[in-house]
Amino acid sequence: MLISSRIIASRVEVGGLSGAPVKPLALKTLKTLRSLLPADIPIIGSGGIWTGQDALDFAKAGAQMVQIYTSFGYNGVGTCRRIKDELVKLLEKEGKTWGQVVKEAVEKHSWREFEPKPTTIEQLETATEELKVYLGLGEREKAERGQRSAAQEATGGEAELEGAAQASIL
C-alpha cells in the first residue's frame, strides 16, 4: 500500500529532483557549459551543494559563484555560514583563495578561439609531401615526370619545340 501511494503521489504532485542527487549531473553540465563559453562569462553553479567540499567542487569545475537552495531549506539559516566555514578550511589546506581556484578552473576549462601557429616553409613542404603520400600522388607524379622525360629524350625535345612554335604563331 505504501509503494502504490508513492507512485500515485509522484504522478499528481508538482516538483522535481533536487539536492544531493543532482550534484553529479549539475557538475557535468557546468563543465560542458564552461567549455563552450569564453572565460569572461561568469557561471553560477547550483545543484546538490550541501558542504564546503561541494562548493569547492563547483569552483574547480569553473563556477565563479554557487547558489544554495535545497540544503538551506532542510538545514535552515546557518547553512550558508557552515558551508563557508568548511570552505575556508579546505582552501587553507590547499593554500589558495576562492578567486585563485576559480581563476585556474576558468582558464583551464573555458572555450578559447583557435590560434593558428606560425609555420615555416619547411613545415609546409613536409606537410605537402606527407599529404601527397597519403593521397597516393607522390608516386604517380614521379611516374608521369619520368614518362615525360623519356618522351622528350626520345624525340630530342622536338615535340616541345614544335608546340612552343605553334603557340607563338597563334
Domain range annotation of the chain: 14-109, 121-169
Rounded CA gap, 46 and 18, in Å?
10
Q: What is the pLDDT of residue 79?
A: 96
CA distances (Å), origin 32, targets 20, 48, 60, 135, 163? 20, 17, 13, 36, 64
**Count of residues making up the chain:** 170
Q: What is the pLDDT of residue 95?
A: 98
Q: What is the pLDDT of residue 46?
A: 96
Whether pLDDT at 168 is above 50: no
Rounded CA gap, 81 and 51, in Å?
10
Name the nearest CA neighbour of 139 among 124, 129, 148, 149: 129
Whether pLDDT at 3 is above 80: no
Rounded CA gap, 131 and 148, in Å?
23
pTM: predicted TM-score of the whole model, two decimal places:
0.60
Confidence of residue 116 (pLDDT cuts 50, 70, 90): confident
Long-range pairs, 2-9, Cβ under 8 A, ≥24: none
Q: What is the pLDDT of residue 81?
A: 97
Residue scoring higher pLDDT (20 or 51): 51
Count of CB atoms situated within 10 Å of the CB of 106: 22
| The three grid cell numbers given for residue 69, joined into one nine-digit string | 537552495
Fold of 14-109: Rossmann fold (3.40.50)
Mind listing the pLDDT tens digit for each residue in 125-163?
A: 888 888 888 787 766 666 666 666 666 666 555 555 455
